């Protein structure tokens, strides 16, 4: 059910869960003041309890009362990238944030979204937690109709049009005296160099029992279709291609991600195209992975890999 801004604010203030648009992907929002609504988010998404939520605020100084300490360059990063697709993980004072939000960790993740509607909601309602508005494991939703696909047409959605970034925020974590990327996202690693003076390392999760970014342990972004990446089969033998509009794949039906020289366009289209594979009931598809391994392509590549994992291995 599409709701207007005022209704969305009213529902959130009453302890309901509402889907909101952000510039990255749609989010399932609950007010930080309503523990029941926060628990409801985990149930609705079928999300494991050990996967913490991002707290969305409207000004970076709102974070100070929760923080245990402020890492170097926090203000520089906040002033340069917020509002925008960046999430920062900070050590917090545990008593200030419900355990469910941070999955028992002594850190919490924060971000200021850029979409004017989510900003307007947060200004009125106060901080909200907001995981991506999809059932756990499915591709994130980048349009209101895709939220309704997962949660039903009776579910309240504030329709803000298509998400312009199309990929989740990049998550930075201050560890061993430097900021590291614990989740690739809409901001490319290179974009941090001018602010930090170094390009943050992309941390590969090695500690399964105590991961730095628990969400990275799960199979994600996956359609029903089996995605064939780096495979030896020819596209023609499969018959379906997830590829680019400026390339030729003879005798194949193409699901286009956009032009191969435009990673921003590919990012914007990625999840919707993955979901359209399910609309078309595709069982198996050849993925054109011939693109550079840098910039935003790194995130696109990571999402495609995650979407291609057989569910049994994660
Ligand atoms: O772009 C985005 O970030 C979107 C929009 C809606 O804002 N939200 C989003 O939320 O992607 P979600 O829940 O789908 O992903 C949150 C990620 C998970 O991988 C989770 O493990 C990580 O953030 N995370 C949250 N709190 C954390 C913490 N304290 N330490 C490390 N990772 C954390
Ligand atoms: Mg998600």
Q: Is 36 annotated as a binding residue?
A: no
Q: Which atom of ligand 1 is nearest to the CA of 24?
A: 1
Buried b (16+ CB within 10 A) or exposed e, 173-203: bbeeeebbbbbbbbbbbebbeeebeeebeeb
Distance CA 259, CA 142 (A): 19
Q: Which helix (H) or strand (E) holds 20?
A: strand 18-20
257 CB within 6 A, ligand 1: no
Distance CA 52, CA 111 (A): 14
Contact 190, 199 (CB under 8 A): yes
* pLDDT for residue 311: 55
Contact 55, 129 (CB under 8 A): yes
**Residue 82 has which token pair?**
């917020």
Nearest ligand for residue 137 CA? 2
Tell me, in angstroms, the distance from the centre of ligand 2 to residue 143's CA: 15
Nearest ligand for residue 218 CA? 1
- Residue of 45, 48, 52, 181 to mutate, ligand 1, most atoms within 8 A of C-beta: 52
- Residue of 47, 86, 214, 220 to mutate, ligand 1, most atoms within 8 A of C-beta: 214
Q: Percent of the chain, pLDDT > 70?
A: 98
Domains, the chain, ranges and CATH?
Answer: 2-196 (3.90.870.10), 226-308 (3.40.50.11030)
Q: Is 309 annotated as a binding residue?
A: no
118 CB within 6 A, ligand 1: no
Distance CA 264, CA 12 (A): 32
Single pTM value for the model: 0.97
Give tens-digit pLDDT for 6-63. 999 999 999 999 999 999 999 999 999 999 999 999 999 999 999 999 999 999 999 9
Q: Is 234 annotated as a binding residue?
A: no
Q: Is the pLDDT of residue 251 over 70?
A: yes
Dump the DSSP string for 202-244: EPPP--SSS-SSGGGGS--S--SSEEE-S-SS-HHHH-EEEE-
186 CB within 6 A, ligand 1: no
Among 57, 35, 36, CA closest to 118: 57
- Helix, strand, or coil (residue 192): helix
Among 88, 112, 92, 116, CA closest to 102: 92
Q: Is the pLDDT of residue 193 over 90?
A: yes
Distance CA 124, CA 302 (A): 36
Locus of tokens 């801004």: 5
Among 102, 107, 66, CA closest to 88: 107
pLDDT category of residue 231 using cuts at 50, 70 and 90? confident
Among protein residues, the one with the nearest Cα to ligand 1's atom 29 is: 108
Among 265, 257, 256, 263, CA closest to 294: 263
Tell me, in angstroms, the distance from the centre of ligand 2 to residue 170's CA: 12
Tell me, in angstroms, the distance from the centre of ligand 2 to residue 246's CA: 30
* pLDDT for residue 312: 44
Contact 269, 166 (CB under 8 A): yes
Tell me, in angstroms, the distance from the centre of ligand 1 to residue 214's CA: 9
């Amino acid at each position: 059910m599409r709701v207007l801004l005022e209704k969305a604010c009213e529902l959130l203030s009453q302890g309901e869960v509402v889907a909101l648009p952000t510039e990255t992907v749609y989010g399932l929002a609950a007010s930080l003041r309503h523990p029941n609504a926060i628990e409801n988010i985990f149930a609705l998404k079928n999300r494991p309890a050990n996967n913490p939520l991002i707290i969305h605020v409207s000004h970076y100084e709102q974070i100070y009362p929760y923080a245990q300490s402020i890492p170097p360059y926090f203000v520089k990063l906040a002033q340069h990238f917020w509002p925008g697709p960046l999430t920062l993980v900070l050590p917090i004072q545990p008593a200030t944030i419900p355990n469910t939000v941070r999955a028992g960790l002594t850190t919490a993740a924060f971000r200021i979204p850029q979409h004017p509607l989510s900003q307007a909601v947060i200004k009125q309602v106060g901080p909200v937690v907001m995981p991506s508005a999809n059932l756990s494991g499915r591709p994130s939703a980048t349009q209101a109709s895709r939220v309704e696909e997962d949660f039903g047409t009776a579910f309240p959605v504030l329709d803000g049009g298509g998400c312009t970034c199309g990929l989740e925020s990049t998550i930075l974590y201050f560890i061993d005296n430097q900021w590291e990327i614990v989740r690739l996202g809409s901001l490319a690693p290179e974009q941090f160099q001018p602010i930090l003076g170094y390009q943050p390392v992309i941390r590969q999760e090695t500690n399964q029992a105590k991961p730095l970014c628990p969400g990275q342990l799960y199979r994600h972004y996956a359609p029903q279709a089996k995605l064939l990446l780096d495979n030896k089969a020819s596209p023609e033998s499969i018959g379906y291609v997830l590829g680019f509009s400026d390339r030729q794949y003879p005798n194949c039906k193409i699901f286009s991600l956009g032009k191969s020289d435009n990673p921003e366009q590919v990012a914007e289209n990625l999840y919707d195209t993955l979901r359209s594979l399910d609309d078309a009931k595709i069982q198996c598809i050849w993925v054109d992975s011939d693109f550079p391994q840098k910039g935003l392509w790194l995130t696109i590549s990571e999402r495609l890999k995650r979407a291609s994992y057989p569910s049994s291995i994660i």
